[in-house]
Amino acid sequence: MHSQADRQKQVTGMRCCAAFVKMSTYPVLLALLAISSVANAGGIQSLDDIREAIDRYAMEHLVQNAERDTVTIGRLDPRLRLQECDQDIEAFRNPGNRRGGRSTVGVRCPGSQPWTIYVSVQVQSHASALALTRAMGRGERIQAGDLRETEINVADLPHGHYSDPERLVGMQLRRSVRAGEVLSPLLVEAPALVNRGETVIVIAAAGGTEVSMQGEALDSGALGDRIRVRNSVSKRVIEGEIIERGRIRVML
């Protein structure tokens, strides 16, 4: 026979177990209710539809050459549960994001229960660029035989590149460049046609009349640069444009 104390312990244990079972089922019930509510409201948005929207947007707005460029869409968490949109979902990009390279594309639902997510996108834009066939030092002039074509990912060269040899032949290097390195505008410059301290010819033009005189260059410069020149007779300092080696044009 069980004593009164034993019966009381059994009742208390049963109450505790019931409470534990009740509490442990709450999270499961809540999750089932959440899934049920999404299902009742129209289901879960397909991740494939989101990827398709991003890919379509990237091909239209981020890719420069559809035949040579590739688009890689960042991973979408398979656990993602978004309300199925009752309208067509829209892809967009925030202002300031550059074409090519790594970017972020947003996808939103403009429907009755709107949502927005952001996904990383990598665009590889391939192009032909000019690189050096040999190592060259600072100040060396580039000749046609120093150049060769190579395939590049444009995103790897944010400062630009050259594809036309005529734009590089005759230019000089700002610094030493190794063989195979792709040339960008930061690596080359037009050679100086006038050096500081040199005697130059100043051509002063006024209307249809031109007068030539000698002067001293106070700056160095390349074709098209504007530099200061001191008139050898009057000592007056004027500014003019370099039009060829050792010749400066001044408009009066």
Residue 54 sits in the same domain as residue 112: yes
Using CA atoms, how far apart are residues 194 and 176, in angstroms rounded to an integer?
Answer: 23
Tens-digit pLDDT profile for residues 66-107: 777 888 999 999 999 999 999 999 999 877 665 667 889 999
Count of structural domains, the chain: 4
Residue 131 sits in the same domain as residue 120: no
**Average pLDDT for residues 102-121, to the nearest whole number?**
94
> In which band, very low, low, confident or very high, does the pLDDT at 145 lie, cut at 50, 70 and 90?
very high
What does the mean pLDDT of the chain come to?
A: 83
Using CA atoms, how far apart are residues 28 and 54, in angstroms rounded to an integer?
Answer: 34
Using CA atoms, how far apart are residues 60 and 48, in angstroms rounded to an integer?
Answer: 18
Residue 183 sits in the same domain as residue 202: no
Decide if pLDDT at 29 tops 60: no
Residue 177 sits in the same domain as residue 237: no
Residue 116 sits in the same domain as residue 131: no
**Which of 189, 220, 235 is at the close of a domain?**
189
Please state whether beta strands 209-217 and 188-189 pair in parallel, antiparallel, or not at all (unpaired).
unpaired
**Average pLDDT for residues 216-238, to the nearest whole number?**
93
Domain limits at 156? 126-189
Distance of CA 168 to the CA centre of its chain: 25
**Which of 124, 139, 166 is at the close of a domain?**
124
The CATH number of whichever domain residue 183 belongs to comes to 3.90.1210.10
Residue 118 sits in the same domain as residue 67: yes
Residue 80 sits in the same domain as residue 34: no
Residue 184 sits in the same domain as residue 234: no
Tens-digit pLDDT profile for residues 59-75: 888 887 777 788 899 99
pTM: 0.51
Using CA atoms, how far apart are residues 132 and 130, in angstroms rounded to an integer?
Answer: 7
> In which band, very low, low, confident or very high, does the pLDDT at 46 lie, cut at 50, 70 and 90?
very high
